[in-house]
Copies of this chain bind each other. A is one copy, B any other.
Amino acid sequence: MNTQQTQTKIVNGVNVTQLFEMIDNIKEKGEIAKFTFRAQNKWIDGTENHTTVSDYYGACKTHTRSKPHTFVKDEPQILLGKDNGANPVEYLLAGLAGCVTTSLVSHAAARGVKIDSIESTLEGDIDLHGLLQLDDTNPGYQGINISFKIESDASDETLQELIDLAKNASPVANTVSRPTPVNVKLIR
């Protein structure tokens, strides 16, 4: 009789035992790693629209959340809106901040590096000439800078290594920094 208990290891609030189990499962059956994320969007009026995310596919099945998450997007008055929500380029910053942070926390946890706190500031420049099609300026962010302030006993060298790894492994940072195809189609 095996009386040994499985001990759950939690670092930085991340269940490292579950993380390593997931990695083992993926190594055994690659199909588990395939995820599809989805969103439904509805235009309200002017610059306001709402997005709902509820279900996603992953680990070989579709998962539906008990409660969907919704997002209100709008523009400030200066950009012709009513400021009923943050604007889409700010949502992109929120996604990027969250993704690199979670990547950082998880990779640190996997290496046993304890983190006490992380705060970051993101900033990106946009020139409206592009959006308004007034010249050939890119409509998007010219670049996005993220500054991390991290409290941890780890050395600056370890933390620098972790933020570089976090960025390189982050799905949102990767989507932004490489040319990711966006396809639009009209359905009836």
**A residues apposed to B, CB below 8 Å:** 12-15, 18-19, 22-23, 26-27, 30, 32-43, 45-49, 51, 53, 56, 58-59, 63, 65, 69, 71, 73, 75-76, 78-80, 83, 85-103, 105-106, 115, 117-134, 138-150, 156, 159-160, 163-188
Closest to A100 in B: B184
Q: How far is the CA of A48 from the CA of B101 in the complex (A)?
A: 9
A98's partner among B78, B87, B169 (CB-CB below 8 A) is: B87
Give every chain B residue within 8 A of A51 (Cβ-Cβ). 93-94, 97-98
Residues of chain B contacted by A138 (CB below 8 angstroms): 174, 178
**For A14, A94, A146, which residue has the most chain B Cβ atoms within 10 angstroms?**
A94
Cross-chain contact B160 with A186 (CB below 8 angstroms):
yes
Cross-chain contact of A49 among B58, B83, B101, B146 (Cβ < 8 A): B101
Among A147, A179, A186, residue most surrounded by chain B Cβ atoms (within 10 Å): A186
Q: Are B38 and A170 in contact (CB-based, < 8 A)?
A: no
